[in-house]
Amino acid sequence: MASAISIRKKIIAVFSPCAVVIFLDQVTKLIAEKRLSGREPVFLLKDFFVFVFTENQGAFLSLGGNLGSVVRIIIFIVLPLIILFSAVVYLFRKNKLSFRQLCFFSLILGGGLSNVFDRIFKGGEVVDFMNIGIRNIRTGIFNVADLGIVFGAGLLALSFIKEKKTG
């Protein structure tokens, strides 16, 4: 179990990784928009890594993209903002999380906020531009915010598993 972390360290643990994810995501999205929009996909390592510009109205794999605009606003902007705000409150109230766990949680927070920013300022759409895979086994098209969410969740889960095993 982690010892209590000072409010100063919590602020650093929560807002630093979050800010880095938001910054990297927004910068890479701007680059993708300038270099990839309206162009053919760019293939690296044959077709293992593909850069292809898309604007996604839905969630993962465009789920919910065909919903009405009011429903999309509620599901993809309002609800995530409530969840993300609640997560920040939880992070500052919970005393059992380690500094590392706060940082991992912050990666999720940064990814979520950056995608919500896109939806607010880009007409309900999120810019996606990366795809990886081998032949027909491929991921959906994603962005840096999605990587922050996935890596943050994975690292957080591993830290809880490790903590449980060590007592």
Helical (H) or strand (E) element with 85: helix 79-93
Average pLDDT score over the chain: 92
Q: What percent of the chain has pLDDT over 90?
A: 75
Catalytic residue among 25, 47, 118, 146: 146
Active site residue 146: yes
Residue 3: per-residue pLDDT: 61
Phi/psi of residue 72, nearest 5 degrees: -60, -40
Provide DSSP, 8-66: HHHHHHHHHHHHHHHHHHHHHHHHHHHHHTTS--EEETTTTEEEEEEEESSSGGGTTTT
Active site residue 128: yes
Higher pLDDT among residues 57 and 113, named by residue: 113
pTM for this entry = 0.90
**10-69 pLDDT per residue, tens:** 999 999 999 999 999 999 999 999 999 999 999 999 989 999 999 998 887 677 778 888
